[in-house]
Amino acid sequence: MVSLAAAFSTIDSHTAGHPTRVILSGVPALKGNSVRARRDDFRARFDHLRSALLHEPRGHAAMVGAVQVPSEVADFGVFFISSYVYLDMCGHGTIGFAKTLAFTGAITSESGDTFTLETPAGVVTVGLSWADDGTLSSVRLRNVPSYVGIDSVKVDVEDVGPVDAPIVYGGMWYALVDADALGLELAPANASSLMRAGWAIKSALSKALIGSEVIGDAAMPSVLFYSASAPDDATHFLVLASNKFDRSPCGTGSAARMCWLLETGQLAPEKAYTARNILGIPFTLRLAGTQPVGERSASIVEIEGSAFITSTQTILFESDDPLSRGFLCN
């Protein structure tokens, strides 16, 4: 017999290799009349659940969680949590969330080929491609507006060299860094060295951007390394922290990269953009439209990818577990 303090029902999936853990039950009722407000209430009162559910020994540094909550303005509501920060929007996580809805029967081929989803960044439209046997084969996320925040930020980074990166919004802020210009090869064998270089760049950029009116109180930009084989085809490696990288090409980061290519005239509006992770698995992106965001022109980018269910489980916490709040080792 064990003495249980809490239990959470979850479903895990991966989108191009990066995990999404959808938490189905166990989270207390949250206050607020919007997904953003409920997310903020979770952060204020239940942040210990984030580390408990995502960190070791029940998760790992790269784990991303999706907490489903009610929405008054969309078909579904969800906010995203990660091992070190709250995400206003998450492309791979949205694809994983859609796959989980299909797996549980919450959406089916009979219920249609789109649904709306309220996130802390706004309401997005999610398109669904169903196979002949009724399974969900791919997901097309129409992302929140992407726009260029700062054309160029220059920093000198120890052991890396001079870096000149645009800062672009795709649901989160990203610094777009040309890996080839720094002599960095985006390959699985180089993941550790790429994380070290990316973290050094992110730290330098964060210092340079202190007080930036563009970034405001949002999370500082993560570093999206890219290696382009053509204007419409590139490999991505996103560094999130010193011990964490995005295994997928990064949906919102890919939207930011496509926005930059469009803004600078390197990609024609009618062309699709293929973003691959270091395992060669692609996201396909297309321009769905444009709209103004303040005085800026923003691109509405559609991101297509597939997710795959990896496990269903009940995560348990015994009452005397000394590691019930989780831990991470850098």
Number of Cβ within 10 Å of residue 30's Cβ equals 19
Distance of alpha carbon 283 from alpha carbon 199, whole angstroms? 24
Residue bearing tokens 């590691």: 323
Is there a contact between 154 and 167 (Cβ–Cβ < 8 Å)?
no
Helix 91-104 with 251-263: angle, nearest 10 deg? 130
* DSSP label of 120: T
* DSSP label of 188: G
Length of the chain: 330
User: Residue 98 belongs to what H/E stretch?
Assistant: helix 91-104
The residues annotated as belonging to the active site are 90, 250
Torsion of CA 317, 61, 65, 47, to 10 degrees: 60
Q: What is the CA radius of gyration of the chain?
A: 19
In a 3-state reduction of DSSP, which class is residue 195? helix
Number of Cβ within 10 Å of residue 301's Cβ equals 29
Distance of alpha carbon 108 from alpha carbon 112, whole angstroms? 7
Q: Which of 46, 19, 42, 21 is nearest to 32 (CA)?
A: 42
Distance of CA 145 to the CA centre of its chain: 15
Number of Cβ within 10 Å of residue 61's Cβ equals 19
